[in-house]
Amino acid sequence: MKNENIYILGIESSCDDTSAAILCNDKILSNVVANQKIHAAYGGVVPELASRAHQQNIVPVVHQAIEKAGISKKQLSAIAFTRGPGLMGSLLVGTSFAKSLAFGLNIPLIDVNHMQAHILAHFISEENHKKPPFPFLAMTISGGHTQIVKVSNHFEMKVLGETIDDAVGEAYDKSGKVLGLGYPAGPEIDKLAQLGNPKAFRFTKPKVDGLNFSFSGLKTAILYFVQRETKTNPNFVKDNLNDICASIQYTIIGILMDKLKLAAKQTGIKHIAIGGGVSANTGIRKALEDAEHKIGWTTYIPKFEYTTDNAAMIAIVGYLKYLEKDFSDFDVMATARLKI
């Protein structure tokens, strides 16, 4: 007879992090992430290198997650994996591994949408973390996505607006490239921004209707600005790096908050969550905390380790789907452009 507790192994391999996590019901027992440093030298993720690194990492990462959780493979109730969206070569590694292990152990397989997982990470049981009540608004901000989603229940989600070009994380990373920073530049810009004056330089915000976003114009504006200023002062970037970063951050957070406020006004929803790599950003975290007192929102900010890609968020979706007996067929395919 199966034990009462439900043990889910989650596997994430959509981009450049190989991750495996074990959940006991909605509590994390382990969450192992192997970050692929190799891409930094190329200034961005190289898909072929990413899938090769996943192939090298997946067995030790899964092994470590099971060992850290202190359980045996035989106790697993199901295996959840990221089906998409993401890089095809990367997704295939996690998908085939999950299928063969689930088949070998004769347990259910559960496919998970990576973007839903960034949102449902809020349902991992943690001390001092409240779970959002339905309906709530979720803004997913990462290197590949920028969306505002109305979440009516765990599995009923509607995209209200999204970027029409670059994602917000891309805007950070591409601006960082112009400034000569390493990849990914988001965390570094965030760090330097805290030392600078956010109003030192002004970048115009894009005019995009409704709840959609655009970030490609900002990247170009920053490039032209730096080119112009370095003509008169070749050391301009070095001399003003903190102020430039603070001004970029101020502009980006302004764009995100304007749209979030509009979404809250249009829907009348005041429970606001964020997720994805950029939700680690101190600027957006502070802006949301301020909105609690100033606008009366209740905000939900993920714990730092669940912001960037991780398998704990895949495993929690696996658990929620397990309760619904929402299992996948073994012929399920990795889907690079999977929608919410």
> Contact with ligand KG4 (CB under 6 A): which of 187, 198, 302, 318?
187
> Contact with Zn ion (CB under 5 A): which of 51, 90, 113, 142?
142
- Cis peptide, bond prior to residue 135, ω within 30 of zero: yes
Q: How many residues bind ligand KG4 (CB under 6 A)?
A: 19
Nearer to ligand KG4 by Cβ, of 101 and 245: the residue is 245
Nearer to ligand KG4 by Cβ, of 108 and 283: the residue is 283
Of 29-37, 125-133, 142-150, 203-211, which segment contacts ligand KG4 by CB under 6 A? Answer: 142-150
Angle separating helix axes 282-294 and 236-267, nearest 10 degrees: 40
Least distance (Å) between residue 16 CB and ligand KG4: 8
- Letter for the amino acid at 42? Y
CA distance 265 to 272: 12
- Tokens, residue 168: 């917000």
What residue is closest to ligand KG4 based on CB? Answer: 277
CA distance 179 to 96: 40
Least distance (Å) between residue 19 CB and Zn ion: 11
CA distance 48 to 216: 26
Q: In this structure, what DSSP letter does residue 211 have?
A: T
Nearer to ligand KG4 by Cβ, of 15 and 92: the residue is 15
> Contact with Zn ion (CB under 5 A): which of 309, 315, 316, 318?
309
Side-chain half-sphere CA neighbours of 155 within 13 A: 12
Nearer to ligand KG4 by Cβ, of 198 and 276: the residue is 276
Which residues pair with residue 300 across a beta bridge?
273
* Residues at the interface with ligand KG4 (CB under 6 A): 15, 142-144, 169, 172-173, 184-187, 190, 276-278, 280-281, 308-309
